[in-house]
Amino acid sequence: MTVDEESWDTPVGAQLRAAQRAELDNRYGNSDHEPGTPPTGEDIAVFVVARDDNAVGIGCGGLRLLGEDEAEIKRMYVIPAERGRGASVAILRMLEDCARTRGIRVLKLETGSGQPDAVRFYEREGYSKIDPFGPYASEPTSLCYARTL
């Protein structure tokens, strides 16, 4: 498996993000489960894609800058068939390394009550629960986490 920075606009990135949205639509029973402004190529500072040994995209993640030394993890996703094999950890570590290189000291993220697997993952990887921030502050299903790098 490899994890590399890629453009937000690559076809594989679009395909992985669409799969993530479809899974979340299914989990939450609607398509209106993301507070705030959806990420775009203009506001994502880093986007990474994990590929298997056949160069097939199996996961992705991005960083949206929140200030000089903070960023938010966005569109973190691994296809279901590849879960439990280390792709999510590899993507997260790459995002953390990219953040450090850019002088980012704190990574934040939002997940939801319908994603207990994501909650377990982030807690296992050293992220601590924080009060909801920004557009998530008044969302009852939002669960927010942060880690100081």
Distance between CA atoms of residues 62 and 74, nearest Å:
5
Distance between CA atoms of residues 133 and 138, nearest Å:
9
pLDDT tens per residue across all 149 residues of the chain: 999 999 999 999 999 999 999 998 888 877 776 778 889 999 999 999 999 999 999 999 999 999 889 999 999 999 999 999 999 999 999 999 999 999 999 999 999 888 999 999 999 999 999 999 999 999 988 999 999 99
Distance between CA atoms of residues 116 and 53, nearest Å:
29
Q: Kindly state the helix (H) or strand (E) to which residue 70 belongs, with its residue range.
A: strand 70-78
Tokens of 113: 């009550």
pTM over 0.85: yes
